Amino acid sequence: MNKRIGFIGCGQMGQAMIQGMIDAGLVEASDIAATALSDETIDFVTDEYGINISNENKRVARESDLLFLAIKPYVYQGVVQEIKDEVSEGTVVITIAAGITLDAMKEAFGRNVKVIRSMPNTPSLVGAGMSVLCPNDFVTKEELAEVMEVYESFGEAEVVEEKLMDAVPAVSGSSPAFVYMLIEAMADMAVQQGLPREKAYKMVSQSVQGAAQMVKETGRHPGELKDAVCTPGGTTIAGVTKLEEAGFRNAIMQGMKACTDQSKALSKGN
C-alpha cells in the first residue's frame, strides 16, 4: 500500500492495529507515524514496532494520507481542535472510539472532512480482528476500499449504516472482554479440579476458538451445534442445565445491552 499512515494516540488498540498491518506485510514500519503522550510509551513503541513515533500531533496529521484517531472519546474534541487546520482535503480520518458520530466529527472540524467511523477490536494484534466501518458521504469507494484493506490485513471487516454502529461495541468491540471472562472462569474451575493453570488456559481457549470456528464455517445454528454435544443424561446437558438455572444467557444479553446503552449515551453526548 502506497499510503502514509498516521496514528494520533498509540495505546493498546492502536498498537494492535499497527502490529497487525506490519505482520500482514501491508505496509513497512517506516511508512507508519504515530504520537503518544508519555516518553515511556514512545520508547516502548519505538523498540517494539520500529515506527516513527513522537508527541507531534500536528506533524503526523499534516503528513498522513490515512489518519487514525486512536484516542479516548473524551479527548476527541481537544485533539481535533489541535490538528484540524493540518488535515488536508485528501486525508481520510478514521475514528476508532465508541460514540463518536460522523456529525460530531464534521462539527469538530468545522468543515467537510473525509471521515470513517470504525470499531476494531484487540484480537487485531494476532490477525484475528473483527472491525466494522461506516464512511461519510465524502469518502470515495476507492478510499473506503483502501481503508478496508488496512482492516482486513489484521482480520475481517464489514461496512454498516451509521444507525447500526451503536450496536457494534457489544457485538465485536467489547465482546472479547466477555469471552476472556468466560475463559478465565472455565480455567479457574479446571484448576480447582487439579489441572495445571497453563494447561487449563490452553485447553479452554482452544475449545472456545474451535466452537467459534464451527459456527463460522458450518453455517449451522449455534443451538443446533449445542444440541449435538448434549447426549441424553450426559455431562454436557447437566452443565447446560445449571447454566440456564443461573441465567447464563440472560446475563450475557444484559451485559451486551448495557454496552449498547453506553454507546448510545456517548453518541448523544457528541
Residue ranges of the binding site for NADP(+)? 8-13, 70-73
Element (H, E) at 179: helix 175-192
DSSP letters for 189-254: HHHHTT--HHHHHHHHHHHHHHHHHHHHHH---HHHHHHHH--TTSHHHHHHHHHHHTTHHHHHHH
Grid look-up 479527548 returns: 75
Closest CA to 98 of 123, 117, 78, 75: 117
- Per the annotation, where are the binding residues? 8-13, 57, 70-73
Cα–Cα distance measured from residue 228 to residue 249, given in angstroms and rounded to the nearest whole number = 19
Query: CA–CA separation, 163 vs 169, rounded Å?
Result: 13
Residue stretches of the annotated binding site for NADPH: 57
